[in-house]
Amino acid sequence: MKKVLLVANVAKEHVNKFHIPTIKYLQSKGWQVDIACSVDAEIKAGDNIYNMSWKRSPFTLKTFKGIKELKNLIAQNHYDIIYCHTPVGGLVARIAARSFRKQGLKVVYCAHGLHFFKGAPLLNWLLFYPMEKWMAKFTDMFITINPEDYELVKQKFNHEMKVEMIHGIGVNFDRLDISDKNKVREKYREDLHIPKDATVLIYVAEILKNKNQQMLIHVLKQLRERGKDVYLLLPGPNHQHGEYQKIADKLGLHDYVKFLGWRSDIGQLMVASDICVASSIREGFGINLVEAQYCHLPVVAVSNRGHRAIIKDGVNGFLVPLNDCDAMTNKIISLMNDRSLYMKLSSMNVDEYKAEYVANQIYCFLKSL
């Protein structure tokens, strides 16, 4: 039986969001899977859950306390594999595990999108690139989730380290399966005060500067100025302190942009929508795009490496340049006006992204160590 310690930053927005299927899959193979993170929500998987001191940012004093805590945890439990995620999880885990690698401990880091990439701010390269390059020396396997990160790691980092790639971190499609879709669509539109014949755009993401929702607000303004009855749904925790609401209000869009906060009913919101849009500046992998395609929504997204890993422009969706509101507006209108194009781009097969498939990939990678 393998003993694995999964290390990440937080429970609610990371472990629960991305790793439950993989944890359960490894347990089904007879492996023990413990979890170390900042436990800010109940985790419904895993054998032992350890609440650690660190938070989402690696640049705090609590990170140093977390390294000491993790060292003690590894020494007590004699793990075979450390499987770490997120900048803070990857930092504390690889530093804490460094001395134990001589005893046979294997360290695996999964990067959910590198912070340094072609076009990234210089500060990202100055901060994160040296840190990752140094920590790669203490890493047995580096897993990436998009082709561009894979090539970068292969070229720049420790050549003795194994480098692998998975298609995202796996999507649990079960939560998106909705029965009686017509009734759900009608009810949700009524509750959200959206006319049944209006076109609804949706972007499932935290409200953050990197997610760049202000671009979508300006796109919505253009669409409505061109006579289109369009609404925008923005489900996701709001970290912008009302900044984007103020932009919407200033543009006269108060009734047409719906800031919904964190939601567990993403499947229902997808059913109530017509087109998935995505505006992020940086993305490791656009899981929200895959979820939308599963729900038969066509996608119009900003071209970044995470979106390019999923969308081939004009083949299974549309890609537009960052902050090119005109381009995104035109692509949305083309979908609204051309029913055959809409049907083509809303009928994509996304089986390769299933959580079970990706979990099996991860199991095979870890087993090979």
pLDDT the model gives residue 167 = 85
Q: Show the domains of the chain with their CATH numbers.
A: 3-170+354-367 (3.40.50.2000), 173-351 (3.40.50.2000)
Do 231 and 203 form a contact (C-beta atoms < 8 A)? no
pLDDT the model gives residue 329 = 98
pLDDT band for position 58 (cuts 50, 70, 90) = low
Using one digit for the tens of pLDDT, what is the confidence trace for 131-163?
Answer: 889 999 999 999 999 898 999 999 988 788 999
Q: Are strands 32-38 and 3-10 parallel, antiparallel or unpaired?
A: parallel
CB count in 10 Å sphere of residue 238: 18
pLDDT the model gives residue 56 = 67
Q: What is the pTM of this model?
A: 0.82
For the residues 86-112, what does the mean pLDDT come to? 94
Residue 191 to residue 193: CA distance in whole angstroms: 6
Token pair 């970290």 in the structure block, residue: 239
Question: What value does the mean pLDDT of the chain take?
Answer: 93
Using one digit for the tens of pLDDT, what is the confidence trace for 195-247?
Answer: 999 999 999 999 999 999 999 999 999 999 999 999 999 999 888 788 999 99
pLDDT the model gives residue 109 = 97
Residue 307 to residue 309: CA distance in whole angstroms: 5
Q: Is the pLDDT of residue 120 over 80?
A: no
Grouping H, G, I as helix, E, B as strand and the rest as coil, residue 366 is helix
Using one digit for the tens of pLDDT, what is the confidence trace for 2-18?
Answer: 999 999 999 988 999 89
pLDDT band for position 42 (cuts 50, 70, 90) = very high
Using one digit for the tens of pLDDT, what is the confidence trace for 327-352?
Answer: 999 999 999 999 999 999 999 999 88
For the residues 270-279, what does the mean pLDDT come to? 98
For the residues 24-45, what does the mean pLDDT come to? 96
Token pair 């919101």 in the structure block, residue: 269
Hey, which residues does 49 pair with through a beta bridge?
35
Residue 66 to residue 55: CA distance in whole angstroms: 9
pLDDT band for position 87 (cuts 50, 70, 90) = confident
SS3 of 130-179: HHHHHHHHHCCEEEECCHHHHHHHHHHCCCCCEEEECCCCCECHHHHCCC
Dihedral sign of CA atoms 143, 208, 333, 186 in order = positive
